[in-house]
Chain A
Amino acid sequence: MSVDVAVEQLTAKDFASDQEVRWCPGCGDYAILAQVKKVLPELNIPREKIVFVSGIGCSSRFPYYVESYGFHSIHGRALAIATGVKVARPDLCVWVVTGDGDGLSIGGNHLLHAIRRNLDINVLLFNNRIYGLTKGQYSPTSEIGKKTKSTPSGSIDFPLHPLSVAIGAEATFVARAHDVNIKHLGAVLKRAVAHKGTSFVEIYQNCNIFNDKAFEYTTGKETKADATLVLEHGRPLIFGADRNKGIRLNGLNPEIVTLGDGITEDDLLFHDEKAPEPTLAYMLSRLYHPQFPEPIGVFRAVQRNTYEDMLEEQVAGAKEQKGVGTLEGLFEQGDVWTVD
């Protein structure tokens, strides 16, 4: 594993591939792509050491549009492929781009297991709460009752909440961002890359064709401030246009309170992304509109050994203990006898 000493200063343009971007005009994916291309040069990682892996779906076209190594694979399997890439080459900076269908439905199993292994990879799950590429069926994150082409009477599937799933799978880094809040998205992406271990980022992404304005409550000018809670480590959970509302615990349940009238910041829940137990992060992942503001930012960022580091250690340990294997030594393993 060698780190290139001289990394030329790249710009977002250097990460634009020669492929024409083919998402629908107005798709939230454009903004995410722009932010990723903006963040990549700031990482000081040589372009050739960056690998984007994706599955199938609108979001999964992403690797074609980034000038780095890329693998657009099959439905749901991006994380399994990325696992092979990272285990083979821990020096590579590996990104997985997936969606709510690709990552949580057909690829749900791989998502759970990649997260628990804590490979040092960055997983971006574009959540638009709809199947776009197959033209508008409900997804595992679609709200109950949603009317789509496949659910004319309304969906009767209860939705999954991606961050809750990730936390349940022992994620060490969990965050949420919006496609339209690009500054915040860029900051979250940088945090995700900086985290050693699997970084799971849910990005609310608008599908303007099949599920337009799905997140308007949390991005629209009028409602944004009351429907969004920006998480800051060590700070109380405060939100609202006048920053006078907060979240406090009532027993085990969160409740919204208004500051003043004897309620101070000290009565509120304080965010602790480094809490060893995921209880707080999980509770935050369960705050939904319209009952609660939906948190964005880093929910959880804790340290744990990565799979690839532990594997490398085992390989190194085996070599130290047994000596580096030779072919002759390989054949001579076990009971060997000579016939004269």
Chain B
Amino acid sequence: MDGSETGIGTGTATSTGGKTREVSTRRLDHVVIRFAGDSGDGMQLAGTQLTNTSAAFGNDVSTLPDFPAEIRAPAGTLAGVSGFQLNFSERLVHTPGDGCDVLVAMNPAALKANIADLTEDGTVIVNTDAFSAKNLEKAGYESNPLEDGSIASHALFKVQIDKLCSEAAKDTGLGNKALLRTRNFFALGLVYWLYDRPMVTTEKWIETKFAKVRAVADANLKALHSGYYYGETTEVFQTRYQVNRAEIPPGRYRKLTGNEAVAMGMVAAARLANKTLFYGTYPITPASDILHELSKQAHFDVKTFQAEDEIAAVASTLGASFAGELAATGTSGPGIALKGEAMGLAVMTELPVVIVNVQRGGPSTGLPTKTEQADLLQAMFGRNGECPMPVLAASTPGDCFDMTIEAFRIATRYMTPVILLSDGYLANGAAPWMLPKLSDLPDLSVQHPQANGREFLPYERNEFGARPWAVPGTRGLEHRIGGLEKAAGSGNVSYDPDNHERMIKLRAAKVAGIANDIPPIEIYGDQDADLLLLGWGSTYGAIISAVDDVRSKGKKVASAHVKYLNPFPKNLGEVVQSFKRVVIPEMNMGQLLPMIRSTYLVDAIGFNKVQGKPFHIKEVVAKIEELLEG
């Protein structure tokens, strides 16, 4: 990365087996590294291990896995390439980085699929044993890129990883096929040496993971150490790099993906509401990990229900909510399409449920493992009738925790279904997360009505416009709800025209009134700038990094991030009207854009990318600079 190199040290001695050689050490402020291989090569694992090690070491980190929709696409093909990118830094980072500084490519397909993202002076480490004529052909190479000079601008390190792995652990008694499965740890060991990382986190992980299969544990440990010593001993590498600890606010931390954060937020919300959690769902990429995480939390009174389909998933959630539990469902766009009718029922019956949409590339099945933000208008309008629902969007993996709790707060206080938008990038991306103080978490306790001698009116409204949440089992409050229009107050079926319009307005006013109960949107950067970048969801990291970059060059720019998409924060109109120009970066064809334009009559312009990939910082920087110059 440009400007990443901040200091150079030389003369570090490294010694093995009595030999000592001079290795220089360079200090970098951050490194972006990408591991790439076949989807069975363990690249996600190698990346995760480096992430954990770097986070525990004290760097700020941000990660992005990139894997194919096929679990095991044919080995060696471009379709089967799985990647994991990690940005570790001595400064706070908000994205996993644009391009990568280092590419570890386990085969020709991995090289071909990723080389374009490598910085010009970047380093590429390849497993030469995988560069057979057959694999080159599978990847579509006509000649060997390691020899034909096509990647000569990069620093190329050729390592016979297969051979070295086979050698390293042959005394474990494992067959060669099993030994080759350790090559991700060899590559990881080499990276650990290169970036001066301690191996202890990974050693412990291997010991625990393979505790029952000693030979496999030994083989992986040997591969890891061999990779490390390969760096230290051979004279291939003349330089090591150091990335110092970042200045991170003191506290207890763990690494958290967006999906883990949603799951944790749900469990926490249930505890804060003093309720049990019901999560009804149907497996779908990229939301399934929420189910996996929640399934581990039965000791928190979490009940997970893997339904027969998306419709049953949301319907069971309504049932659990009717019965008085804190209830949620999670899915991705195609699932939301199927859930639409039941979401309308939740609006009509005014039951609190949280519906999480981990957005992916669409339409239809689209790009299941890739990220996109193209379901915002579906969340806003994708139901029959006048059917308003609060819509929230998380902006970072950690924010998924806060916004999940916020979704439940709104759902239970206003007796309404709430949509929480995440996306594939947030869901699978990880960053360090400071464990929250319990005293900072909101009180979500709920008052259920009891019979008080007066006639019970299931659709009577309180100061928030919410109806009472009377739970079955409560004597004297027996009542019926349903999808037919309700008479105001009594909740009886009503076909009265005036009542229908009145109820539509009451439901709309209830949702609109939430604007009084959410924080105002904040402006980041220069309040007096001409240009405002208005974002929502996972574009947050790229936008504020770009704003920082442009401002560091002495130019003025501001950004604001919409976390509440329905209703909008009360001051949003004032904010967008106070800038000369408003640009809205979105990973879609423009969905917040028409909402802002029509709501505030502001001539905002769109900046759109729909490639299944998040914005690069430099793309946003370029757009800002173009607009500032234009």
Residues of A within 8 A of B (CB): 17, 19, 46-49, 51, 53, 56, 63-64, 67-74, 77, 79-89, 91-92, 109-110, 112-113, 311, 314-315, 317-319, 321-325, 327-328, 330-340
Contacts of A325 in B (CB 8 A): 267, 271, 297, 299-301
B327 at the interface (CB under 8 A from A): yes
Give the contacts of B332-354 with A (CB-CB under 8 A).
Answer: 341-342, 344-345, 349
Cβ-defined contact, B480 with A74, below 8 A: no
Contacts of A49 in B (CB 8 A): 472-473
Q: Which among A63, A84, A322, A323 is the interface contact of B320 at CB below 8 angstroms?
A: A84
The stretch of B51-59, B373-381, B622-630 in contact with A is: B51-59
Cβ-defined contact, A332 with B435, below 8 A: yes
A19 to B493, alpha carbons, bound, how many Å? 9
Give the contacts of B292-325 with A (CB-CB under 8 A).
Answer: 297-303, 305, 307-309, 311-313, 315-325
A91 to B474, alpha carbons, bound, how many Å? 12
Q: Nearest chain-A residue to B316 (Cβ)?
A: A84
Cβ-defined contact, B252 with A336, below 8 A: yes
B573 at the interface (CB under 8 A from A): no
Most chain B CB inside 10 Å of its own CB: which residue of A49, A318, A322, A335:
A335
Beyond A77-B342, A319-B299, A327-B438, 11 additional contacts (C-beta under 8 Å) are A64-B493, A71-B480, A73-B345, A74-B341, A83-B305, A87-B320, A89-B473, A315-B301, A318-B299, A338-B252, A339-B251
Contacts of B249 in A (CB 8 A): 339
A115 to B264, alpha carbons, bound, how many Å? 32
A334 to B313, alpha carbons, bound, how many Å? 28
Contacts of A109 in B (CB 8 A): 308-309, 312
Contacts of A318 in B (CB 8 A): 298-299
Contacts of A17 in B (CB 8 A): 480
Contacts of B473 in A (CB 8 A): 48-49, 89, 91-92
Cβ-defined contact, B316 with A83, below 8 A: yes
Instruction: Say yes or no: A321-B299 contact (C-beta < 8 A), given A88-B276, A88-B278.
Output: yes
Q: Which among B264, B302, B313, B324 is the interface contact of A88 at CB below 8 angstroms?
A: B324
Q: Nearest chain-A residue to B438 (Cβ)?
A: A327
A323 to B160, alpha carbons, bound, how many Å? 49
Contacts of A56 in B (CB 8 A): 483
Q: Nearest chain-B residue to A337 (Cβ)?
A: B56
A51 to B450, alpha carbons, bound, how many Å? 18
Contacts of B254 in A (CB 8 A): 331-337
Measured CB to CB, the closest approach of chain B to A136, in angstroms, equals 21
A71 to B311, alpha carbons, bound, how many Å? 17
Q: What would 29 A/B residue contacts be, using CB atoms closer than 8 Å?
A: A47-B475, A48-B472, A48-B475, A71-B319, A71-B322, A72-B483, A73-B345, A74-B342, A74-B345, A77-B315, A81-B316, A83-B305, A84-B278, A85-B319, A86-B319, A88-B325, A91-B473, A92-B472, A110-B308, A112-B308, A317-B298, A323-B299, A325-B299, A327-B438, A328-B438, A330-B300, A331-B435, A337-B252, A337-B254
Measured CB to CB, the closest approach of chain A to B290, in angstroms, equals 15
Cβ-defined contact, A339 with B250, below 8 A: yes
Cβ-defined contact, B267 with A73, below 8 A: no
Measured CB to CB, the closest approach of chain A to B247, in angstroms, equals 9
Instruction: Say yes or no: A113-B342 contact (C-beta < 8 A), given A84-B322, A87-B278, A330-B297.
Output: no
Q: Which among B58, B297, B472 is the interface contact of A339 at CB below 8 angstroms?
A: B58
Provide the B447-484 mask, 1 if CB < 8 A to any CB of A, else 0: 00000000000000000000000001111111111111
Closest 6 CB pairs of A and B: A84-B319, A72-B482, A80-B315, A84-B316, A318-B298, A325-B300
B397 at the interface (CB under 8 A from A): no
Contacts of A314 in B (CB 8 A): 298
B436 at the interface (CB under 8 A from A): yes
Give the contacts of B487-543 with A (CB-CB under 8 A).
Answer: 492-493
A22 to B280, alpha carbons, bound, how many Å? 34
Cβ-defined contact, B472 with A51, below 8 A: yes
Instruction: Say yes or no: A338-B251 contact (C-beta < 8 A), given A88-B276, A330-B264.
Output: yes
B201 at the interface (CB under 8 A from A): yes
Cβ-defined contact, A80 with B319, below 8 A: yes
Cβ-defined contact, A85 with B472, below 8 A: yes
Q: Nearest chain-A residue to B312 (Cβ)?
A: A80
Q: Which among A81, A91, A311 is the interface contact of B315 at CB below 8 angstroms?
A: A81
Cβ-defined contact, A63 with B480, below 8 A: yes
Q: Which among B264, B318, B323, B475 is the interface contact of A331 at CB below 8 angstroms?
A: B264
Q: Which among A64, A82, A322 is the interface contact of B299 at CB below 8 angstroms?
A: A322
Cβ-defined contact, A340 with B436, below 8 A: no
Q: Nearest chain-B residue to A319 (Cβ)?
A: B299
Q: Nearest chain-B residue to A46 (Cβ)?
A: B475
Most chain A CB inside 10 Å of its own CB: which residue of B252, B254, B316, B483:
B316
Cβ-defined contact, A335 with B475, below 8 A: no
Cβ-defined contact, A70 with B299, below 8 A: no
Cβ-defined contact, A113 with B312, below 8 A: yes
Most chain B CB inside 10 Å of its own CB: which residue of A48, A84, A324, A336:
A84
Measured CB to CB, the closest approach of chain B to A274, in angstroms, equals 28
Contacts of B298 in A (CB 8 A): 314-315, 317-319
B30 at the interface (CB under 8 A from A): no
Give the contacts of B159-210 with A (CB-CB under 8 A).
Answer: 201
Measured CB to CB, the closest approach of chain A to B245, in angstroms, equals 8
Instruction: Say yes or no: A330-B267 contact (C-beta < 8 A), given A84-B317, A335-B56.
Output: yes
Measured CB to CB, the closest approach of chain B to A161, in angstroms, equals 21
Contacts of A48 in B (CB 8 A): 472-478
Q: Nearest chain-A residue to B256 (Cβ)?
A: A334
A321 to B201, alpha carbons, bound, how many Å? 27
Give the contacts of B544-578 with A (CB-CB under 8 A).
Answer: none
A53 to B301, alpha carbons, bound, how many Å? 25
Instruction: Say yes or no: A84-B315 contact (C-beta < 8 A), given A89-B324, A336-B253, A336-B254.
Output: yes
Contacts of B267 in A (CB 8 A): 325, 330
A19 to B491, alpha carbons, bound, how many Å? 11
Contacts of B299 in A (CB 8 A): 315, 318-319, 321-325
Cβ-defined contact, A71 with B481, below 8 A: yes
Contacts of B393 in A (CB 8 A): none
Cβ-defined contact, A74 with B322, below 8 A: no
Cβ-defined contact, B483 with A73, below 8 A: yes
Contacts of B317 in A (CB 8 A): 84
Q: Nearest chain-A residue to B275 (Cβ)?
A: A88
Q: Nearest chain-B residue to A76 (Cβ)?
A: B311
Instruction: Say yes or no: A87-B472 contact (C-beta < 8 A), given A315-B298, A336-B252.
Output: no
Cβ-defined contact, A336 with B435, below 8 A: yes
B268 at the interface (CB under 8 A from A): yes
Q: Nearest chain-A residue to B311 (Cβ)?
A: A77
B255 at the interface (CB under 8 A from A): yes
Measured CB to CB, the closest approach of chain B to A97, in angstroms, equals 12
Cβ-defined contact, A339 with B278, below 8 A: no
A68 to B318, alpha carbons, bound, how many Å? 18
Contacts of B321 in A (CB 8 A): 84
Contacts of B264 in A (CB 8 A): 330-331
Instruction: Say yes or no: A68-B478 contact (C-beta < 8 A), given A331-B254, A334-B254, A338-B253.
Output: yes
Measured CB to CB, the closest approach of chain A to B248, in angstroms, equals 5
Contacts of B255 in A (CB 8 A): 334-335
Most chain B CB inside 10 Å of its own CB: which residue of A77, A80, A336:
A80
A337 to B317, alpha carbons, bound, how many Å? 36
A271 to B327, alpha carbons, bound, how many Å? 44
Contacts of A339 in B (CB 8 A): 58, 248-251, 253
Measured CB to CB, the closest approach of chain A to B464, in angstroms, equals 23
Q: Nearest chain-A residue to B52 (Cβ)?
A: A335
Contacts of A73 in B (CB 8 A): 315, 318, 345, 482-483
Q: Nearest chain-A residue to B205 (Cβ)?
A: A335
Q: Which among A72, A88, A340 is the interface contact of B303 at CB below 8 angstroms?
A: A88
A112 to B307, alpha carbons, bound, how many Å? 12
A340 to B250, alpha carbons, bound, how many Å? 5
Cβ-defined contact, B311 with A70, below 8 A: no
Cβ-defined contact, B478 with A69, below 8 A: yes
Q: Nearest chain-A residue to B263 (Cβ)?
A: A330
A259 to B243, alpha carbons, bound, how many Å? 95
A336 to B51, alpha carbons, bound, how many Å? 13
